[in-house]
Structure 1
């Protein structure tokens, strides 16, 4: 319901992160949420590294991993923390990050903080991405030409500033063809 000039309008709010309706007062989830607040409190108050995590976090990570058919998954409470902490944990000196030119600033900061060499490809241009991957494998590291310790492609699932969707199937094909690593950042607000 929206009030404008004394008139009430039924509207769909497309500017809210509450698109699943979980934050509505008197919703079907309210009793469940209140019970869990009593049980766990409002928050662990920080990231798992500093404040630990509950069995709910563990259960969610297992559920995500099972859904994706992978060994394990990590779930973070905020996108900035995800990128600025996870990327440096995955790559470092002697590694190469290949990043979409339209990636969020937190990805750029995480990649820079990692100490890796960073190369970018034109937004969603999988042909350019493949050329960079192939050339990087052939040439190796600058000056020494040693093989990279790790090559990590980083893209967003849905680009947060534009709303554009990555070319996931084609990027996964490149990842598999060249046996490189892949970091898909998918920000979901509930």
Structure 2
């Protein structure tokens, strides 16, 4: 995209400005507040000072000129209106449907429709039963705080979601041990260690519960589930006391027969208590990325890293989530460059990911086009070319154009952070 045709990313009502302004430290405004409110603001200021306060801002990717590479509407059911039309049709089939429960489900607030829905969901996934809860976060907290019994152990992948950790903290498990991310041998060693140190588990009187995700939302890679299951069978020696709990939040709808998820894709239902277009878009991304003439140089210089690009052609399926990394000080620079080209991706930093592992999270959707994906890759390399000129001293610029525009505004406003030198 020509620099002269780029949009300004500093709209006063835009998501970027609103987000940056939400991180402004407010100590000088809170001195006159009552102690209770002042203490709350002090706690919030701790987050604001590191730009890690989660705030609610406008979603500019929903505007007509934006290209959505950041939302979780993977199958584009929301943007196409499919969910809305299906909901209204379903509602018309039940004219007497009550929209109020009248109480919690355990206190006379249950009703037949939700039970039918849960059974349909269970059947869809080849499971015995289902339970609807408020969110995937709540589901993980609920499962991991309730299922492990005293004397049980939990083994979890090092990169499971924060909600899993929150649930595990509340559990009754006697031991919680992580294994290295997607590492079969580390998983095996962890199971053996627990068996050796916990006699009741080795005797089959207590269990090991394994926490993994089918698709890891901040890495975009796939769990080697079939291999993990085989290792668990070997270590448990047929006792059946190693059970898996799979978080399929980011694979349901995209993998497996009719979108049933990776567990069904691998035919592991009995072992575990728009798809085509998204695959095509992922293939288009990796092909465009790895065939670009600047790709080898960008990798060699450490300016650009896309971990899932290695060996992408050999994978049986590609996920809809891709992470892009660069030098940590440049994360916001590349994000702002893509934003100025109307490509909305998600910058992810600590505490969502480990310190010094910030990255961009790119998600492909059924409604995205191959042309949009190719254009995204071209913009990534336009930024790479710009940053390489800066590093080589071939330009008077010290900061990329889009980042410089934002930082000049931030300096005028007395704001800091977001990669600002």
Q: State whether TM-score is above 0.5.
A: yes
Tell me how far apart the structure 2 counterparts of residues 164 and 52 of structure 1 sit (CA, whole Å): 40
Q: Distance in 1 between matches of 2:215 and 2:106?
A: 27
Root-mean-square deviation (CA, aligned residues, Å) is: 3.4
Which one of 124, 142, 147 corresponds to residue 85 of structure 1?
Answer: 142
The structure with the greater share of residues assigned to strand is 1
1:19 aligns with 2:77: no
Contact 1:104 1:161 in 2 (8 A): no
**Which residue in the other structure is 1:63 paired with?**
120
Q: CA deviation at 1:103?
A: 0.8
Deviation at 1:132, TM superposition (A): 1.6
- In the alignment, which of 165, 178, 184 is matched to residue 108 of structure 1? 165
Q: Which residue pairs with 2:194 in the alignment?
A: 136
Residue in structure 1 matched with residue 225 of structure 2 by the alignment: 168
Residue matched to 2:206: 149
Shift of 1:169: 1.0
Q: Structure 1 residue 156: deviation in Å? A: 1.0
What is the deviation of 1:86?
1.3
Matched residues in 1 for 2:135 and 2:189: separation? 33
- Which has the higher mean CA deviation after the structures are superposed, 86-95 or 10-19? 10-19
Is 2:242 the counterpart of 1:184? no
Per the alignment, residue 123 of structure 1 pairs with 181
CA distance 1:129–1:87, change in 2 (3 Å): same
- Report how far residue 133 of structure 1 moved: 1.3
Post-superposition Cα deviations, 1:141-175, rounded to whole Å, max 9, x if no partner, equal: xxxx4336221011011112222211111122233
Please give the secondary structure, in 2, of the residue aligned with 1:88. Answer: helix
Q: Tell me, which stretches of 5 or more residues in structure 2 are unaligned?
A: 1-5, 9-62, 254-421
Report the TM-score when normalising by structure 2. 0.37
Q: Which one of the candidate residues 22, 34, 37 is aligned to 2:88?
A: 34
Which structure shows the higher helix fraction?
A: 2
Distance 1:56 1:17, change over 3 A: farther
Give the deviation of 1:112 after TM superposition: 1.4
The number of residue pairs the alignment matches comes to 180
8 Å Cα contact 1:47-1:76 kept in structure 2: no
Return the index of the structure with the highest Cα Rg: 2
Tell me, yes or no, if the aligned pair for 2:158 and 2:179 is still in contact at 8 Å.
Answer: yes
